[in-house]
Structure 1
Amino acid sequence: MEEGQAAVCRVLLLEDDEPLRQRFTRILQDWPGASLVAACASLGEALPHLRDAGVDLLITDLRLPDGHGTQAIRTLRATNPQAEAMVISVLADDRSVIEAIEAGAAGYLLKDADSIELVEAIEELRAGRSPISSSIARVIVRRLNASPPAPPPPLAAALTARETDILWGIAKGFTYAELAQQLGISKQTVPVHIKNIYRKLEANNRSEAVFEASRRGLIRL
């Protein structure tokens, strides 16, 4: 291979629709950028090829006569994590799209024989992009917008009543000796409580601890 020349992409095609499988087969065979490993009509035919780590790209339908395309994607990812997978399917519902992406698909095109530019989609994948039909992109955006925001990280543990009293005291500027006297505890135990407060609030000093406690509603100043 000459310097600067892209490596030939070893492609496994998994499509049970015979006319479409033949059409994609001709495109791949005519394109010098690809080497067609096999054109399979079922999951059973494809699995041996997926398991021998000789595939760079899987192009798969989802609805197969003996299984589901996500099974093929997961097998590919387990055998060769560097390989890519692209779905071409008539299925555009939220569940199918999300399952395929979670399985490891980097591209998802709707099965519209007139609009699929197979070579262009493969080149996008090889360039690090994700070819996705516009209607599929809308499914993803809608799903993301519907997801509730992530909750704030919880405290490592709730503050004890004693720690809350000490936190209130340091917020008022009391010294260790003053805190110990007011709370009726040993002056040596005050730093121990403060260290625990810092750890629970993920703070490094008094100011950070007071700010974080106030922000979380643990104390009122």
Structure 2
Amino acid sequence: MSVNVAATRSIDVVIVDDEKFVRGALRTYLSQAPDVAVVAEGANGAEAVSLAHEHQPDVMLIDIQMPVMDGIAAIRRIVAELPDIRILVVTGHISDVYLKAALIAGASGYVVKDAEPERIVAAVRQVNAGDCPIDPAVTHLLVADVRNSLPGKSQRPDMELSDREEEVLRLLCEGLSNTEIASALFLSESTVKYHLVRLGRKFQARDRLQLVITALRTGVIV
């Protein structure tokens, strides 16, 4: 049975990087995917904010260190003004500091520029679907860093979590993937995803990493 690709809505993408060569490479990678359409490109953070408002894409690929306005500031502006846009950081900086700053600003994923083309395309699809393309081991380091850096936790929000939701959330905060959570709790992956969706709604979190940060920041998970 053939699939009518034209009938499938494409993932509209904007690429923002101050290096023209990098923008060209990313555009080439993404243009080979039948479900992805690059609708615009920019060279700095200010252009990223402008293009976000002009095109309102599904996903934006944004570098961190750029002129005029850096990527972190641009991400913060875009997420605040257009929260439905998902941000994938594509950068050459493999740093816990940059990673944490990008995710707290509102990015939904973090990959390096020299990743395989298939990996970058897959990351765009994952971010668009609400997932976070970051290695679980890196997530674990991030969680530890966020825990240690918080000046203090606010009062625990007045919400009820089931025992199962607390178990899933705790394992998520330990850096486990959906597959690992399912194995640890003897659940199916679909059931884990169901609980994560419910938790995301309760915490008003855009994605799993924002859910982790919010759970730690509010003291629900200590």
TM-score range, shorter chain: 0.5 to 0.7
Q: In the aligned structure 1, how far is the partner of 2:11 from the partner of 2:137? A: 27
Aligned to 2:207: none
Structure 1 residues 1-221: aligned runs within 5 Å? 6-52=8-54, 54-114=56-116, 117-133=119-135, 136-144=138-146, 146=148
**What do residues 158-212 of structure 1 show as CA deviations (whole Å, max 9, x unaligned)?**
xxxxxxxxxxxxxxxxxxxxxxxxxxxxxxxxxxxxxxxxxxxxxxxxxxxxxxx
Give 3-state SS (helix, strand or coil) of 1:120's partner. helix
Give RMSD over aligned pairs: 3.2
TM-score by length of 1: 0.58
3-state DSSP class of the match of 2:56? coil
User: When the two structures are aligned, how many residues end up with a matched partner?
Assistant: 153
Kindly, what percent of the aligned residue pairs are identical?
Answer: 26
Is the Cα–Cα contact under 8 Å of residues 59 and 86 in structure 2 kept in the other structure?
Answer: yes
Q: 1:35 Cα deviation (Å)?
A: 1.7
Q: Please say if residues 111 and 120 of structure 2, whose CA atoms lie closer than 8 Å, have aligned partners that are also in contact.
A: no
5+ residue gaps, structure 2: 157-222
For residues 49 and 133 of structure 1, the distance between their equivalents in structure 2, rounded to whole angstroms, comes to 29
| Cα shift at 1:24 | 0.4
Bigger helix fraction: 2
Equivalent-residue separation in structure 2 for 1:96 and 1:56 (angstroms): 23
**Equivalent position amino acid for 1:124 in 2:** Q
One-letter amino acid of the structure 1 residue matched with residue 53 of structure 2: R
Structure 1 contact 109–136 (Cα < 8 Å) conserved: no
The structure with the larger Rg is: 1
Which one-letter code corresponds to 2:124 in the other structure?
I
Q: Structure 1 stretches of 5 or more lacking a match? A: 155-221
Q: TM-score when scaled to structure 2?
A: 0.58
Q: How many angstroms does 1:40 deviate by?
A: 1.5
